[in-house]
Structure 1
């Protein structure tokens, strides 16, 4: 049976594992190799299948021989390989033709598809494929038609044969043949009339499909559009819908159909009406006469029709000036998609009518973000003369600024004169306008660089809100405003605290380009307003201040009455990252601060600074028991970053991992493991604790598991004895991970070969553990025979190590289904191929069977039959 692994090979794996590795210089596509690949494909090896495809034409003569193999299974696989090789498998087409007489419908089906894949090289098979158009199986007949078109032969017999097949008794065949004839299109004068005649087929699905095909043929034949116009009156709504879509596909070339489409706008079926409106939009300016009918459709009872009508009016463009009032009314439609379509249409029309701008401005407040975005885009496209008045009106409306700043940015960048208009508006007599203008320039960002001088002037405005907005805007414009630093420094002394705060934040946005502001910011750390002090501390961090200038002030800030300032001071000290002895005592004291953010920041800073003072470790170990998870998180990370070799660190971290009361268990575990991995005093001791951490992590975190593995691999040979012990753990995941670690360590893990072999040979182990052990054996001591077994396992057990376990089960199932669905083969329609090549066939039942099989692994750890 395909996929059965030779028992003697499994039994002797132990010897293979201990065998010396060797390399070969034999070309991968010489006769001996090709014959080996062919034998391996018979055992279900996907890698061998791929190798044969890679050998391409060199493999074809050997594959042709296998077409006569008495074993039907072998012929299935061989034909599949030839199909994947494609045009270079042309010499096989004559032999494949013989398979079209095989009694197996599955084999005939696979053969016609393979000949289609060979394409132009399979001309010898044309007579046999024409005969297959009369095959007793409908799928074979459909496949034969498709193959004939792919071959692209100019044989005069092909088109008549296909036209005859267009009258096949099976509707699915007629449908398929129609699609095939559509690919030939106007290349044959008989095709279009035959397809038009098929619009009268008794089966509505065939008529619908034919309409779609005619749409793709387009104006290459003058008969197409009239035929589709007739189909707009078909008794079946799906046919009428397809006819409308086809006319839309043809576009401006279907202009003569506009009257018929206008009539169809009254169709009883809403999907047809919607499709008709779409078609008129695709015809564009040529459908100008349909504007009144589309305006009426804006009031259709169905929202999809109204939306399509609005979009169509936009596509018809400037020829629809008279529709502006109707589209403005549609901006108030109860359905958001209609409002969105109306806004887009107004933008496409691009008319600066007086009533358009206010309506779109109102739409900027719409509850639906897509409507707001479309309105903003439309305003950006509209050309009108009074940008100043328009922008000022927008700016005055705080609800627009507050609700959707992105809309304001879109308007600003979409109108070329926007920034110039805003600069002028900064001189408006109304302070709320000036403040709003500054905000708007800030939202536009770097694109408003030319406004920097006037914003600098606005820093001296008589109104504090204007000065504050100007400062923030200069910060948002960013590095393009380096020259404003002196002005912002002066603003740090403004009488209004909000202005001082805005100036401090703006300097932070400018970043390293604002280093000259450091003295002023240090002075601001003593500001009477806590927000200013907080912003100053944060900005000093972003600028990257020298320690000698700011450390004393930050130490003093650690005693500030405002918790936010104390927190930012700790972060600033960590950011500076210099070993300054006087910092350590105050940070250790801060680990006991009444605010958890301050304690967390202090732990972070100690780790960032990396001071190895003896008093730091005990303080951080104590912080591992803090009642706040963020503090514990940072304390663990700090112990790792300091890299201290003190043995008391490891037990403290492990104890912390064992504590079930930690609410943020995964993150804390990740940081704790990270800290353990940095211990370099006793590698065996570190390895032991890493294994314990793996057991304690409860497999809830991919991050912690992967970090443990990478840490053990990094330790390398010294970790091997401990990892070997883990191969005997009672937990499947631990054994799987241990085998994976040994495989990644590689040749340095040779002493693990006997135990890995035992894991593989032990039938009580679940399949994925056995497979992982075998992979590790092959990595440590490569051998081609072991590799062939690995390939078979990889093909037959494409299973994630965590499939069906714990909280990850549903995610892994999804990944597996996606993997299967991403690599389909046409041959998967054949039931036996789905069985033989499960890794390639996204069959729902097969996937469910795989899931069921894997989900049962913990209840029934017995090996599967194929093993």
Structure 2
């Protein structure tokens, strides 16, 4: 590794907020494999809001950095759970293996029967790293749930979660293991149960949008038995427990009081997860709102304030003043605007002016929210029209166009469409269709029926690039472009095969078609029959 690369990595490591013991900082610097350096650099160059501040992000980084032991080709995973061994709050340094582990799933399964507990635990961890490739080892890992060594039981649980086996017997074995398990083992077993009950899409929704998936049928008393973990003296136990409870949705209600106390925790990641857990409870636990309002205003961590905003959003109009104030925070503006839009017209008296003032380079959620405020938001139509025409972000322009359509501002939308069409005709020539408009056709489609006359003018312009753009806009509209029928009929006779068939497909969408459209389509079919 070049000196400059090492210096940059050391600089990035010094900026991390993650808990990485000094011993492991040294190991990570020394043992980055050449084939993982690029991934490491990509992670470390992430935008500041994603700079490894959460446990999951730390885990993602450490999975890429692998520690070799005695020349082993299969390495122990270095996730947060594996940096130091976690047994009832006792964190121990990772162990040296007496011999290298094999890399084939079959031989790793044999290693699960080793008389040496460290080899069995490492083999389970290695199988978990292989993921679904090692699914055939599920039965062997289930047997390890009864191992006499806690390290083996923990890594077997972790590995089963990674293998994602579908056999009901696996879930039954995990539930059975909950009975005699220690507190930390119960955390891991419950994690495995609830994650195995979800598909990848549900897990993604939870990770990105904090929507708790339907959880597995946990044995009675499981949630109550985990409540002590939320007040455990070890920070890492509290953090893991809070993360788990944020996944449980309304099933976390028996622990609501402990979660409320946890939002005052010294650790920002723990506060974050506790707030997400309370957001899942919503108005069913009204005591969470005052604390969320206070943290929304005062917490120094961006992620914690975002989680506090999630709690406030669940309380609707009761929290509307706080949602409006959150529009002033650029990091919270998008989520606050969405929450305001979800309240509909009832939010307009207090939120309308604040949203309009945020139409200068806004996130797309701001125009979306204005479109949902009903007739009271007609005062925003002119600012929305300016956004449609002049904003650089195509998604934001489309959101503004859809807001105009939702507000019924057809005249303003039509005027914006004509201005867009004028800008398209004035664009410099391009050598390939789709470049000339810089996304204008998406915006024309978002404006809907009021934009059809302007699109018809583009169809009749004669420039094939503009014809392509106009057809693209019509194809994406949710309404029948009846007003564009004359231009489409003319285009059915075009020498360009693509234009002919696209125009014909649009005419066939109109029900019932006019006599002129039927005649044009019949003539096209006759020409094609003769050509064949």
Q: TM-score, normalised to structure 2's length?
A: 0.61
The answer for the alignment partner of 2:45 in structure 1 is none
Q: Which of 518, 521, 524 is the equivalent residue of 2:292? A: 521
Q: Is 1:332 aligned to residue 102 of structure 2? A: yes
Q: Which of 333, 350, 371 is the equivalent residue of 1:566? A: 333
The answer for the alignment partner of 1:590 in structure 2 is 358
| Cα pair distance change 1:637/1:730, threshold 3 Å | farther
Q: Which of 106, 117, 121 is the equivalent residue of 1:358? A: 121
How far 1:700 sits from its partner (Å)?
A: 8.5
**CA distance in 1: counterparts of 2:523 and 2:171, whole angstroms:** 73
| Cα pair distance change 1:531/1:731, threshold 3 Å | same
Report the secondary structure of 1:364's partner residue.
helix
How far 1:552 sits from its partner (Å)?
A: 0.9
How far 1:469 sits from its partner (Å)?
A: 1.8
RMSD, matched Cα: 4.6
The answer for the alignment partner of 1:555 in structure 2 is 324
How far 1:455 sits from its partner (Å)?
A: 2.2
Report the secondary structure of 2:216's partner residue.
helix
**CA distance in 1: counterparts of 2:440 and 2:371, whole angstroms:** 17
| Cα pair distance change 1:365/1:533, threshold 3 Å | same
**CA distance in 2: counterparts of 1:601 and 1:737, whole angstroms:** 33
Give a deviation string over 1:722-743, Cα, whole Å, max 9, x none.
4333334554333323333333
**CA distance in 2: counterparts of 1:525 and 1:610, whole angstroms:** 28
The structure carrying a bigger helix percent of its residues is: 1
Give a deviation string over 1:787-836, Cα, whole Å, max 9, x none.
xxxxxx5xxxxxxxxxxxxxxxxxxxxxxxxxxxxxxxxxxxxxxxxxxx
The answer for the alignment partner of 1:737 in structure 2 is 502
**CA distance in 2: counterparts of 1:412 and 1:386, whole angstroms:** 24
Q: Which runs of 5+ in 1 are unaligned?
A: 1-328, 334-338, 762-769, 772-792, 794-862
The answer for the alignment partner of 2:41 in structure 1 is none
The answer for the alignment partner of 1:634 in structure 2 is 399
Q: Is 1:446 aligned to residue 210 of structure 2? A: no
Matched positions, count = 405
Check the 8 A contact 1:673/1:707 in 2, yes or no.
Answer: no
The answer for the alignment partner of 1:418 in structure 2 is 174
Residues 64-463 of structure 1: pairs in structure 2 closer than 5 A: 332-333=102-103, 339-342=104-107, 357-358=120-121, 360-364=123-127, 366=129, 368-376=130-138, 378-380=140-142, 384-386=146-148, 388-392=150-154, 406-407=162-163, 414=170, 416-419=172-175, 421=177, 425-427=181-183, 443=195, 446-448=216-218, 450-463=221-234
Check the 8 A contact 1:435/1:470 in 2, yes or no.
Answer: yes
Q: Which has the higher contact order (CA 8 A, sep 6+)?
A: 1
Q: Which of 264, 268, 273 is the equivalent residue of 1:497? A: 268
The answer for the alignment partner of 2:316 in structure 1 is 546
The answer for the alignment partner of 1:606 in structure 2 is 370
How far 1:492 sits from its partner (Å)?
A: 2.8
Q: TM-score, normalised to structure 1's length?
A: 0.40
The answer for the alignment partner of 2:384 in structure 1 is 620
**CA distance in 1: counterparts of 2:186 and 2:521, whole angstroms:** 75
How far 1:551 sits from its partner (Å)?
A: 1.6
The answer for the alignment partner of 1:643 in structure 2 is 408
How far 1:555 sits from its partner (Å)?
A: 1.0
Report the secondary structure of 2:410's partner residue.
coil
Q: Which runs of 5+ in 2 are unaligned?
A: 1-98, 197-214
How far 1:760 sits from its partner (Å)?
A: 4.8
Q: Report the structure number with the largest CA radius of gyration.
A: 1
The answer for the alignment partner of 2:448 in structure 1 is 677
Check the 8 A contact 1:456/1:487 in 2, yes or no.
Answer: yes
**CA distance in 1: counterparts of 2:436 and 2:290, whole angstroms:** 43
Report the secondary structure of 2:453's partner residue.
helix
**CA distance in 2: counterparts of 1:384 and 1:748, whole angstroms:** 71
Q: Is 1:532 aligned to residue 304 of structure 2? A: yes
**CA distance in 2: counterparts of 1:380 and 1:691, whole angstroms:** 66
**CA distance in 1: counterparts of 2:320 and 2:416, whole angstroms:** 29
How far 1:507 sits from its partner (Å)?
A: 3.0
**CA distance in 2: counterparts of 1:411 and 1:331, whole angstroms:** 27
